Amino acid sequence: MYIKEEQLRKWVKGNASAVDFLLMVMKISHVWDDLIDKDKSLEDDVINHCFFDALVRLPRNEFYRKNFDHLNSIMMNSMSNWLISNDLEREGGDLQLNIAFILRSSYVDLITQSALLVGGQAWASQVGKEVRKLTHHEKFDGYLRALNEEKKARQAAER
């Protein structure tokens, strides 16, 4: 995970419940990605903990509950974009990969929107620029290298 807890804390102006919400969503997203890509072996405890977070802790999170109507729609859109990006990656092609590179990180919109909820639109715009730069630090070439490794790992797991 590229985004550290201290950075999240700054972006949500110290709101501990918002930090916990974002950390859970990022962790769940990464485990889900690893399960689909089959590029990492996950211990049962990691998977079990992730499902507990998704099914028990996340719905009980104070920040998420208070802002559910706003955040849940963004979460649904992020999931849709991630699924679309996986399909585009598997299709291949320059256009598809360029689109997938950005779409797959739509979960960071939850960070920008959390910043909006705690600090207003100007703050959200500032945070949005910072989080996008950090999220795409690998640049497109790095993304393509990682995608190639994931494809190899997935093919090996399917054998």
Tens digit of pLDDT for each residue in 46-91? 999 999 999 999 999 999 999 999 999 999 999 999 999 999 998 9
Comparing C-alpha atoms, which of 69, 85, 98, 88 is closest to residue 29?
85
Q: Which two tokens stand for residue 153?
A: 């790992």
Cα 67 to chain centroid, rounded: 18
Comparing C-alpha atoms, which of 15, 86, 138 is closest to residue 23?
15
Residue 4: the pLDDT is: 92
> CB–CB of 28/47 below 8 Å?
no
More confident of the two residues 14 and 94: 14
Q: Using 50, 70 and 90 to split pLDDT, how confident is the model at 142? A: confident
